[in-house]
Amino acid sequence: MVDSIHEMIRASFRCEDMVKCVLGLKSLDIEAYKVLLMHGPLTTDRLGEILNRERSTAYRSLQNLITCGVVYRETRSLESGGCYHEYVAIEPWEMKQMVKKNVDEWYRQMNGLIEKMDDKVSTPIPRIGDEETRIQE
């Protein structure tokens, strides 16, 4: 994984790397999302089994995916009473739109900061010696 945009531009990175960067996900989160797409709705226990990870690890990954909006939870009722939760991945085209929207918003904000750079760069920064001179005067 690259650490900066400068590195990202010059590196060979994949769509998965970009999605992780834009949505703030980890590799395991992407893997969990793919499993949910492939298998359909799953419980935390079943996802953990498929990923070969502890239930708590699968749960943390699901929480990351829910937080960024690419997975949601549905409650299912048991005939004998009680309920359980299944996790469902949004469609890939929906994730694509979400990523695009985030990138567009980031670009808009960065462009605004770039426009303000002239003001910030041209503002002189007082030096320590200059302050002492002004204080003595």
| Domain span including residue 61 | 13-116
pLDDT of residue 66: 97
Query: Does the pLDDT of residue 23 top 80, yes or no?
Result: yes
3-state class (DSSP) for residue 107: helix
Residue 99 pLDDT: 94
Name the helix (H) or strand (E) containing 62.
Answer: helix 55-68
Measured distance CA(99)–CA(105) in Å, rounded = 10
The HSE-up count of residue 69 (CA atoms within 13 Å, CB side) is 11
Residue 2 has pLDDT above 90, yes or no: no
**Can you tell me which residue has the tokens 């695009």?**
100
Confidence of residue 13 (pLDDT cuts 50, 70, 90): confident
Domains identified in the chain, total number: 1
From CA 81, how far away is CA 127, in angstroms rounded? 73
Average pLDDT over residues 23-43: 96
8 located within any domain: no
Q: What average pLDDT does range 22-49 have in this prediction?
A: 96
In a domain, 130, yes or no: no
Inter-residue contact 25 to 15 (CB < 8 Å): no
- Please, what is the average pLDDT of the chain? 87
Please report whether residue 58 resides in a domain: yes
| 124's tokens | 């002189």
Segment 16-23 shows an average pLDDT of 88
Closest CA to 89 of 65, 58, 67: 65
Q: Would residue 18 count as lying in a domain?
A: yes
Residue 46: pLDDT band (50, 70, 90) is: very high
CATH number, position 86: 1.10.10.10
Whole-prediction pTM value? Answer: 0.77
CA angle centred on 8, ends 24 and 37, rounded to 5°: 45
Q: How confident is the model at residue 135 (pLDDT cuts 50, 70, 90)?
A: low
Domain assignment present for 44: yes
User: Does 137 reside within a domain?
Assistant: no
43 in a structural domain: yes
pLDDT in tens, 79-134: 998 999 999 999 999 999 999 999 999 999 999 888 888 766 666 667 776 655 55
Residue 91: how many other CB atoms lie within 10 Å: 10
- Whether 37 is in a domain gets the answer yes
Distance, in Å, from the CA atom of 67 to the CA atom of 78, rounded to the nearest integer, reads 27
Residue whose token pair is 């949505």 = 23
Phi, psi of 83 (to 5 degrees): -155, 170
pLDDT of 132 reads 56
